[in-house]
């Protein structure tokens, strides 16, 4: 096992209250965001607190575990490696590659002598099957690519404009600490990760034949990050490009990309009535570096890039995020967690020409929840306009929420 890593304390602290409890810990997220290393960190925590712990480890990405193909194989492997007089801990990496894995988890969990941890890279498969077979007996933790604070820690950087530009250009996949942060090197690696996600987690899993359309769809989402899109709009665009794909097929392919944690679908909500609209969603990427490996990093895209970053930051912080609709006005993000609510507007720069527009939508919201405009203006003092805060994006990503 590779044991050299940088601790991701945020996730360790979230999982800690459930360790040695009778619930299965399910760690989900896109490939290469660090789920395997999080398992190693959890193993080390267990070894320190339980000197006699017996660790049963399975990694479906390694050839040595190829013989574990279905739930019966999994149960047999665990039984063969169980030690009766020791506390047994089961760690399974990429569990969705084991057929009917949920039956094995139910069986092993029911025996009451295992503490079980597993990771997976398919949202629908995991949540759907586990909810059916293990309702109330598992807890799910979503792992994201590195936050800005984690990026600085991993790369041993200080917070400044140069470091921030590296983050928005190359993204937060943890493995980048082993590479020179240069375009030709980083994007070669990221394109390989993109191909693995696309073909292993989408094409192969869903038996997709029209891979050319899938790739064009991803390119469309990259070009339209943060824009309102619908299946019909995408279908109509493709027809104009001599590609005839029905809206239903578009919806299916979009859902496959969401299930693989490659993109997030963000619905619109009515700020007054909290109603969720059924059409015209926005899509943001799990990792900006992967987006740029598809469409290229372009300075004119800076507004959508900053929006994507703020969205990810709020999701990492555990907020439910929607796009706010107030009549014909739009608020970039309505963020809710427990009894908290936060309204966010994101802009590259605030100028005299756009100040009224960026703050104006927030000013029309008739409640007292915090409202913030986030921009790339480096301010010595926090700005404010008619009672609404303006915060520099680096400050927001490090110090807020």
pLDDT bracket for residue 33 (50, 70, 90): very high
pLDDT bracket for residue 133 (50, 70, 90): confident
Judged against a pLDDT cut of 70, whether residue 242 lies above it is answered with: yes
DSSP at 301: G
Judged against a pLDDT cut of 60, whether residue 326 lies above it is answered with: yes
User: How does strand 24-28 pair with strand 88-93?
Assistant: unpaired
**If DSSP codes are grouped into helix, strand and coil, which group holds residue 175?**
helix
**If DSSP codes are grouped into helix, strand and coil, which group holds residue 341?**
strand
Looking from the CA of 265 toward its CB, the CA atoms found within 13 Å total 21
Which residues fall within 8 angstroms of residue 390, CB to CB, at 6 or more apart?
350, 372, 373, 374, 375, 377, 379, 382, 383, 384
Q: Taking each helix axis from N to C terminus, what angle separates 123-133 and 101-111, rounded to the nearest 10 degrees? A: 40
**Residue 128: its pLDDT value, please?**
72
Judged against a pLDDT cut of 70, whether residue 238 lies above it is answered with: yes
**Residue 68: its pLDDT value, please?**
98
* Separation between Cα atoms, residue 260 and residue 262, nearest integer Å: 5
Strand partners, 17: none
**Residue 236: its pLDDT value, please?**
87
pLDDT in tens, 372-393: 999 998 765 567 888 899 999 9
**If DSSP codes are grouped into helix, strand and coil, which group holds residue 119?**
strand
Angstrom distances, CA of residue 381 to CA of 233, 344, 349, 357, 377: 43, 19, 16, 22, 11
pLDDT bracket for residue 277 (50, 70, 90): low
Q: What share of the chain is helix, strand, coil (3-state, %, to 5)?
A: 45, 20, 35
Question: Nearest-CA neighbor of 11 among 23, 27, 31, 24?
Answer: 27
**Residue 178: its pLDDT value, please?**
96
The domain locations on the chain are 9-142, 148-399
Question: Nearest-CA neighbor of 228 among 312, 306, 325?
Answer: 325
CB atoms under 10 Å from CB of 36, counted, come to 20
Judged against a pLDDT cut of 80, whether residue 3 lies above it is answered with: no
Judged against a pLDDT cut of 80, whether residue 308 lies above it is answered with: yes
Judged against a pLDDT cut of 60, whether residue 251 lies above it is answered with: yes
Q: Which of these ranges, 54-68, 73-87, 90-104, 232-246, has the smallest mean pLDDT? A: 232-246
Write the CATH number of the domain with boundaries 9-142: 3.40.50.300
Q: What is the mean pLDDT of the chain?
A: 92
Determine whether 81 is exposed, middle or buried from the number of CB atoms within 10 Å of its CB (0-12, 13-18, 19+).
middle
Question: Nearest-CA neighbor of 117 among 86, 98, 139?
Answer: 139
pTM above 0.85, yes or no: yes
What the block records as the tokens of 372 is 């913030």
**If DSSP codes are grouped into helix, strand and coil, which group holds residue 107?**
helix
> Rounded to 5 degrees, what angle do the CA atoms 325, 331, 335 make?
95
């Amino acid at each position: 096992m590779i044991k050299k890593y940088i601790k991701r304390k945020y996730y360790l602290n979230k999982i800690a209250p459930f360790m040695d409890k009778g619930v299965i810990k399910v760690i989900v997220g896109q490939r290469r965001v660090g789920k395997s290393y999080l398992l190693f960190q959890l193993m080390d925590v267990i070894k320190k607190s339980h000197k006699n712990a017996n660790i049963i480890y399975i990694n479906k990405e390694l050839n040595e575990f190829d013989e574990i193909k279905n739930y019966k194989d999994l149960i047999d492997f665990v039984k063969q490696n169980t030690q009766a007089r020791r506390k047994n801990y089961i760690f399974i990496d990429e569990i969705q590659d084991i057929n009917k894995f949920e039956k094995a988890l139910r069986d092993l969990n029911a025996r009451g002598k295992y503490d079980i941890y597993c990771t997976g890279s398919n949202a629908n498969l995991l949540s759907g099957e586990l909810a059916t077979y293990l309702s109330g007996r598992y807890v799910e933790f979503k792992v994201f690519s590195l936050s800005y604070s984690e990026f600085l820690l991993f790369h041993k950087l200080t917070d400044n404009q140069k470091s921030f530009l590296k983050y928005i250009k190359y993204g937060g996949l943890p493995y980048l600490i082993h590479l020179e942060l240069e375009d030709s090197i980083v994007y070669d690696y990221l394109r390989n990760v993109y191909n693995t996600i696309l073909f292993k987690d989408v094409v192969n899993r869903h038996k997709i034949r029209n891979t050319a359309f899938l790739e064009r769809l991803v390119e469309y989402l990259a070009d339209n990050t943060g824009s309102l899109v619908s299946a019909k709009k995408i279908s109509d665009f493709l027809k104009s490009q001599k590609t005839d794909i029905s809206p239903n097929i578009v919806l299916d392919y979009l859902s496959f990309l969401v299930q693989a944690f490659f993109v997030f679908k963000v619905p619109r909500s009515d700020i007054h009535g909290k109603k969720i609209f059924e059409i015209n969603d926005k899509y943001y990427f799990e990792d900006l570096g992967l987006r740029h490996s598809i469409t290229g990093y372009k300075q004119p895209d800076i507004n959508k890039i900053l929006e994507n970053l703020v969205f990810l930051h709020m999701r990492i912080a555990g907020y439910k995020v929607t796009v706010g609709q107030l009549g014909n006005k739009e608020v970039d993000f309505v963020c809710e967690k427990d009894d908290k609510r936060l309204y966010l507007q994101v802009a590259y720069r605030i100028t005299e020409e756009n100040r009224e527009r960026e703050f104006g939508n927030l000013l029309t919201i008739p409640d007292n929840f915090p409202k913030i405009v986030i921009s790339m203006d480096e301010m010595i003092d926090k700005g404010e306009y008619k009672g609404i805060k303006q915060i520099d994006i680096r400050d927001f990503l490090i110090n807020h929420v």
